[in-house]
A and B are shown apart, each in its own frame.
Chain A
Amino acid sequence: DQQVKQNSPSLSVQEGRISILNCDYTNSMFDYFLWYKKYPAEGPTFLISISSIKDKNEDGRFTVFLNKSAKHLSLHIVPSQPGDSAVYFCAASGKTGANNLFFGTGTRLTVIP
């Protein structure tokens, strides 16, 4: 059963507008969350992370929000640029070691010029 879910397989946004990518998880023991970006024919690259002691983390145009009570996190990209077009994966991990990193199914973001 998928412990990390990205219910929107795709999202299209106009250049300059905000992109909001959503992720839900089921395991309340998860305490570290990451977003990865993946271009075609390349491996995923790390984008931004957040630990469960925070509810927000910003890095330039990218902000991740964590709502622990709702078991929900979101990635905001403002302003969206055509180069942001990629597949975005969220991932979650618990305290107990490196092996239990669970990935969502990904959301394909298309930023329209």
Chain B
Amino acid sequence: DVKVTQSSRYLVKRTGEKVFLECVQDMDHENMFWYRQDPGLGLRLIYFSYDVKMKEKGDIPEGYSVSREKKERFSLILESASTNQTSMYLCASIPGGGLAGNTIYFGEGSWLTVV
């Protein structure tokens, strides 16, 4: 079974703090994603990566950066957390070749509260 692990499930951070959200997948998937889920807005793509050291902006990259130094690990970084970044963050991965015939595997989510 594919496993996508988000190491921090619940975090509370102060405004202005630097926040790291870590995600690890164990199936050698090329593509990894970070989404945030907010009530009434569904899942919105922040950043994705299709290979080590490669990254692409999603729909809402402002205020975020990412790091992919190893294939299995994709980190989301909030350089200076703000209260509007309070949300549930979901990491996901799929094999290379895109979605056709594949499905996205999600982690369990990281609930971040910025106070």
- A49 to B44, alpha carbons, bound, how many Å? 20
| Most chain A beta-carbon contacts within 10 A, residue among B41, B44, B50, B100 | B100
Interchain CA distance A97-B31 in the complex, whole Å: 10
Residue of B nearest to A45 (CB): B106
Interchain CB contact (< 8 A) of A105 among B31, B42, B56, B92: B42
Any B CB within 8 A of the CB of A70: no
Q: Are A106 and B100 in contact (CB under 8 A)?
A: no
* Separation of A95 and B99 alpha carbons in the complex (Å): 8
Interface centre among A6, A45, A99 (most CB of B within 10 A): A99
Closest to B94 in A: A98
Residues of A close to B56: CB separation below 8 A = 99
CB distance A98 to B48 under 8 Å? yes
Q: In the complex, what residues of B have CB within 8 A of residue A101's CB?
A: 45, 99, 104
How many residues of A sit at the interface, in one of the four size bands? 20 to 34
B35 to chain A, nearest CB (A): 8
B31 partner, pick from A42, A51, A98, A103, beta carbons under 8 A: A98
**B7 at interface by CB-CB < 8 Å:** no
Instruction: Let me know if B99 and A98 touch, CB within 8 A.
Output: yes
> Which residues from B are CB-within-8-Å of A43?
4, 90, 92, 106-109
From 42 to 65 in chain A, residues with beta carbon under 8 angstroms from any chain B beta carbon are 42-46, 49, 51
B80 on interface, CB distance cutoff 8 Å: no
Q: Which residues of B contact A4 (CB under 8 A)?
A: 42
Query: CA separation between A49 and B58, bound complex, in Å?
Result: 23
Give Cα A6 to B109, complex, Å: 22
Cβ-defined partner of B99 (8 Å) among A32, A41, A42, A105: A32
Q: Given known contacts A43-B90, A51-B100, A98-B31, is B107 in contact with A103 (CB within 8 Å)?
A: no
- What B residues does A93 contact at CB under 8 A? 98-100
Q: Separation in Å of the B54 CB from the closest CB of chain A?
A: 11
Q: Contact at B42–A34, with CB atoms within 8 Å? A: no
Say yes or no for A25: interface residue by CB 8 A criterion: no
Closest 5 CB pairs of A and B: A43-B106, A103-B43, A105-B42, A46-B103, A103-B42
